[in-house]
Structure 1
């Protein structure tokens, strides 16, 4: 008996240990929306005090302006920024930034620039995929859409500012929304609440068919930077926290309103109406990904227009238009342009490999769905949760440019899985 026990113990000791997961869990905090905006981040700022000072936002801003405008014009732009960048469009967000500025010592103009420019310089993979539960597949009760998201770009110092935030409307109250973001960034890049998840991807193309459309687009960008118009990430925050003019008024449907207030969930009809209202609104160019428990929608947003694709099974957005898949030369041309104007941000490589990321994710989804159909002898298109986790961990989806990866469940309004990465995590 003793010999058998020793043999069993030795066998357990010889068993190879589980390979450690790449990355780290980001720091997590609660933000109480009932507090004055200027005080909402007071309990978080000390945690990031040394980190945000070591991050050198001034140096990042210098690199960014030099990359976008050249050293000479960049120097002038930084001087003008110190004089003019005093606020963002939202009074609430401006007050939050003032509180962060006071607590961290970071000049207000740098935080405003950070919030105005970041959402137009992100390379990402975002999408939704139907996940089955047990023996249930697509079309049967139990399956739902899960939102996958990686955020990529070349500003490595910002990796140390990655944070997860839960929003509540009263101290000790239930969580109404969650985001993964950078400390000091008050818009929404990646977020979820009951009934809806969302993410934002960089889009390097906009309508230049007439000089007027080009000028209108550039004018809008200038108005965002100067705080006269909301950024697209501010618009997403308003939608996430149900404080948006694009959402239907609550009084329009009493039955839906009562259901929404009781369950704290945004209905499918409400989301569809919101997207319709959002399309003609002025904004920068971006890919917007919205997931509900039963649908994934990808919006190719231009300045005052947009197109929508939707799916009940699988759909993803990267950093290229759907038309680029038919004519890859368009994407190559855009990548070459970015290589000349935004090399410091690492966007050229992210855009040039966008089609490869799509092909890889499509392949993994097709193989996983087919494997599950064979295993369960079903005709559904759902995959397992383990498959979705495999998707975001794949080396072509998460790479040395990836700052963080997230899985979100719009059904429960929760972040299911999240990892923050360093570049070294992907070095073989």
Structure 2
């Protein structure tokens, strides 16, 4: 349940998740605290079916099939976590499974990273902050937004927070997370690359296999980079290693943003390919593929683009993609305005204006101001956050229990 901080801003409550506990016990206390809210979400299953374009006529049969077939996730540990939540909350297992595998397919979001340097600090202390908003039309989910802090009580450093996530109660993957040297966020992608019917069939078969627990969801894959299940495999991976692993991997279509505090990387991910962009000054992504938006002049792709690309927009997605362009353009224009101002100043001082972007930075307060402004934050925004991957901190977060005006 969100509360107001000292600045009168609504923020998400913080809960500790102990990864050293047996998976079934990790989320029980959280589920108990949100038991009534979780029980109120059972009606959302039909809303999810409507959101993916299924006629109301089929809701009954689909619900019955879901009870029979949706028994767990690909990961045994995550399945056990959901069983613990179901046991405490009384929410049926098939609803929790569907929530976990469908949620990352339906969100509209803004993600980005920008170089920051606080006033009066030496340029050597600049770093990139990762910002993100999460937008969705399902207002009941606003009441179950939390910030999770993960610990390993049976490790050599039992009190150390190893990672943080801003998420929904009942969701065990990672949509927005940070640890030391890495932050990440996932945005919905409303198109996928398919030149033949066979390509479409493979893509949607993958979705079905994820739903049935035979393949790993994208949010579960991302969880492995932030809170790997094996504490012995806890070494943070570099952006290059992540790109090499993820680009060819079979996943749903998504926009992924990773930041290590020095540079940031966007992957426009398709089923088994991906277009990669990288920048150490500014980069952004919403829910469309257009490369000219949201990327600084220094952002250069280091993975091959699909040679023959045809994009099919899912039913009802045209308006979302148009609105996505507006959101990305709005925040990109703020960076470009700063860049133009800095170049004019550099020119007046007799310096080379072409070198300005390398050292250009804004303050943390400016990042928060950019993220909070319309249309980056809008009436469908559930929460906004700024993360610092250098030290693994959530710098700022704001929740919206009611639609923003």
Please classify the TM superposition score into its range, dividing by the shorter chain length: 0.7 to 0.9
Q: CA deviation at 1:293?
A: 1.2
In the alignment, which residue of structure 2 is the partner of 1:408? 387
User: Contact 1:22–1:421 (CA<8 Å) still a contact in 2?
Assistant: no
**CA displacement, residues 93-128 of structure 1 (integer Å, 9 cap, x when unaligned):** 000000000000000000000001000111000010
Cα distance, 1:124–1:229 mapped onto 2, change above 3 Å = same
In the alignment, which residue of structure 1 is the partner of 2:174? 188
In the alignment, which residue of structure 2 is the partner of 1:101? 86
Tell me if 1:177 matches 2:163: yes
Give the distance between the partners of 1:83 and 1:332, measured in 2 at CA: 34
Q: Trace 1:337-376 onto structure 2 (pairs within 5 A).
A: 337-339=314-316, 349-371=319-341
Q: Trace 1:279-294 onto structure 2 (pairs within 5 A).
A: 279-294=247-262
In the alignment, which residue of structure 2 is the partner of 1:37? 23
User: Contact 1:320–1:331 (CA<8 Å) still a contact in 2?
Assistant: no
Give the distance between the partners of 2:310 and 2:366, measured in 1 at CA: 29
Q: Which of 163, 168, 174 does residue 146 from structure 2 map onto?
A: 163
User: Contact 1:401–1:423 (CA<8 Å) still a contact in 2?
Assistant: no
Structure 2 unaligned blocks of 5 or more: 1-5, 294-308
In the alignment, which residue of structure 2 is the partner of 1:27? 13
User: Contact 1:400–1:422 (CA<8 Å) still a contact in 2?
Assistant: no
User: Contact 1:331–1:352 (CA<8 Å) still a contact in 2?
Assistant: no
Give the distance between the partners of 2:203 and 2:250, measured in 1 at CA: 8
Q: Which of 56, 59, 66 does residue 71 from structure 1 map onto?
A: 56
In the alignment, which residue of structure 2 is the partner of 1:15? none
In the alignment, which residue of structure 2 is the partner of 1:131? 116
Q: CA deviation at 1:274?
A: 2.0
Q: TM-score, normalised by structure 1?
A: 0.81
Structure 1 unaligned blocks of 5 or more: 1-19, 251-260, 340-346
Cα RMSD of the aligned pairs, angstroms, is 2.6
Give the distance between the partners of 1:21 and 1:153, measured in 2 at CA: 26
Give the distance between the partners of 1:153 and 1:42, measured in 2 at CA: 26
Cα distance, 1:229–1:318 mapped onto 2, change above 3 Å = same
Give the distance between the partners of 1:135 and 1:407, measured in 2 at CA: 21
User: Contact 2:188–2:255 (CA<8 Å) still a contact in 1?
Assistant: yes
The alignment partner of 2:34 has SS state of: helix
How many residue pairs get matched?
Answer: 371
Cα distance, 1:352–1:207 mapped onto 2, change above 3 Å = same
Give the distance between the partners of 1:26 and 1:282, measured in 2 at CA: 33
Q: TM-score, normalised by structure 2?
A: 0.85
Give the distance between the partners of 1:393 and 1:212, measured in 2 at CA: 43
Give the distance between the partners of 1:196 and 1:106, measured in 2 at CA: 33
